[in-house]
Structure 1
Amino acid sequence: MTTRKQLKLGHMIEGAGRTWTDWRHPDAQPGASTNFAYYKDAALLAERGKFDFLFIADSLSINEKSSPHYLNRFEPITILSALAAVTEHVGLVATLSVTYSEPFNVARQFASLDHISGGRAGWNVVTSWLEGSADNFGKEEHPAHDVRYRLAAEYLDVVQGLWDSWEDDALVHDKANGVFFDPEKLNTLGHKGDFLSVKGPLNIARSAQGQPVIFQAGASEDGRNFAAKRADAIFVGHGGIQEARDYYADVKARAAGFGRDPASLFILPAVAPIIGSTEAEANARWEERADLVSIESALAMLGRSFNDHDFTVYELDAPFPDVFARGFNSSQSATLKIAQAVQKENLTLRQVAQRFATPKGELVGTPEQIADKFEEWLVTEASDGFVVGQPLPGQFRLFVEEVTPILQKRGILRETYEGSTFRDSLGLEVPANRFTVAKDQRAVA
């Protein structure tokens, strides 16, 4: 058995494509975002490649500028519940917003997915940055960034408290004496906080892994602190390996500052490798993808990160417009990266839009070259693994068939799953039930 550090790998399923124009590729399936067969094939491929999890992103607001995958797609928990029935080992991570949902319902949904899958559920905790989401939920305004993160912290406390409602040995099922459960081991949360009031208990017990695995996408100051304190894994985007190393060191240090073992927190950048049998073939495939993107589409993609700001009103080849001072209540991680690049390189609007739409990055090459990059990021502490997307039809299959065997041969990717639950795969402990711990502490005192 290898003692080398192992990559943690997830696959993001994005049906119609990752960007606004991927669906135009001759081999693309424009209706894939509501095609169960497409999701099933991707899930089975991920399991064949010994991936840790599937990842389903989400959005609660669309308009005519939204990307095709988000215009018409499955709700995450629904599709993952279906995929639970056709997979055995791969984790199932659903994105769900704390800003536009109720914690009791969310706790039930994820606990149900956890039981259906035999302990393979994960929750990507998001706060929703698109202001249009408020209009879909009867809210007068979209909460400010700092307010959303304060809500998220309290919300996660509540959901995890509800997940512990039933102690692990509460359901005794004693037929002889007619005792279905031990009432002393069913606990009421009784939460009253700044944002939420939830009594409990939850009407479903803990699963084989205790609680679903917690994901977070934290790049802002608030996001980094929240993720470092509360998440099991962080989903993040990076422009290059040095930026990734700096982020890795920062967040791991924050985790240690919160009293956590930094090794129990996995940092997983999003990547979309483009693979060819030769470098020339890989570069040609990247050009093939870039050619699908018009400048109009690129401007629409850029505007999405600024809450659908209209960039068509500016001169394309003039310096990037000074829009950062507007204080967009949006995706701070994306706008911060753009601001830094503009300041450093004095980019025009056209350059920013094209780079944002089709970033080439480092992961274009042969299977050996992609494996080299994955290993470099792992061993130099730029990441603990990756969330792998599909930039062109067939590329994820190529990754599973040609890259994962190289990673396995090098001893940095499993050849068999370690157990049956998501926490088994990640090497995470089953969290103790908070009510059981409190009772044990009182008994000792």
Structure 2
Amino acid sequence: MTAKAIIIGAPRSGSGKTSVTIGLLRAFARRGIKVRGIKTGPDYIDPGFHAVATGTPGLNLDSWAMQPDLLHHLLTQQADGADLLLIESAMGLFDGIAVSDNRTGSAADLARLFHIPVLLVLDVSGQSQTAAAMAHGFAHYDPAVKMAAVVLNRAGSERHRTLCTDAIEKIGLPVAGCVMRDPSLTLPERHLGLVQASEHPEIDAHIERLADTMERAIDLDALLALATPIDLAEGSLDAGIAPPGQRIALAEDAAFTFLYPHLKRQWREAGAEILPFSPLADEAPDASCDICWLPGGYPELFAGQLAVASRFKASLAQFSQTKPVHGECGGYMVLGEALEDANGVTHAMTGLLSHVTSFAKRKMNLGYRQAKIAETGPFGQAGDVLRGHEFHYASVIDVGTDQPFAEIADGLGKPLGPSGGRRRLVSGTFFHAIAKA
């Protein structure tokens, strides 16, 4: 049976999409429906919440970073054995970059490409009938993107709900439910967005409360009827990133958490073995591995603990003498000489690269990136181009003396200069790789 899907979109970030999506995922799962979550765009935190809510791995689908064949392949995989896919939009539904149709990075691209209808989540706080004007705009902005229904969020009273519902249904859009204002439903945040699911002390209980709320507020049977069978076509992994080694030592703990789910799945399906280890527990990468990978995360929150992880640091240095070591974002920070934390205290890092980073001197770096690899290594051949994302507040306060890992450009192709560093078999960059260009 072909899985059905619906996109959960909104006019902007902060409208409540994530809470609605997580609650619906758990609510459908409690009914025995085989439901899975997908996040559009490069957000690597929300798929973790989707995974906890459903008990199945999350997935990112990014129409800018991933070629259409790869999107088809990944969507087909996620739909295999599922009854329902809930696809959560990043930012606003139509938000992306100004490039060709269906490669903007927006959730609307996936709606067009796979003919998936949209459940529009409207935060109606501070308005009533005006919500209908917003819904009308979404319904008519792009004829190729179908609005299936509206869910009102953060209504203040029954009268408020009635005013919004009557106005929206008058323009021909059904209202599938209304979530009343409740601050306890909000998920905690930090500088890179939501606190990760693995760090939430009572995440399962919170998801249960969200599911209870969505069951009361939203007509689940109507929503299931609005979802449509996915328009699938044969895809391929040609644009996927191949395993960087047969055996991969992967740093994995509270400081190293940001690895896209599709990469880990692709690597395992290609026959690679992933051996996790914890730098925070002062563990060493398995010496039998072909490569050591330090993904992104929050090393700035654990800089003191990493600085005294002598076994980890010594073993990583020994590993790097004969085998590649690569760090992304947080991993790149740990590969440097030092890291200055938010309080201005400097902590010695591994010193395998010569740069110094600071979280005290914050500057947000955010956006799509195209990286042209400078030298043949774990990612591919010199000159190969990868597509991905950069999102960090840390700054490089000493660039060091290493050669750059890549030359990068933004999503529109505007050159941004050199990125990261490489020294012998060690490389790192703030850039998170998603797929080949």
TM-score under structure 1 normalisation? 0.32
Q: Which has the higher contact order (CA 8 A, sep 6+)?
A: 1
The answer to which structure has the higher helix fraction is 1
The answer to which structure has the higher strand fraction is 2
TM-score under structure 2 normalisation? 0.32
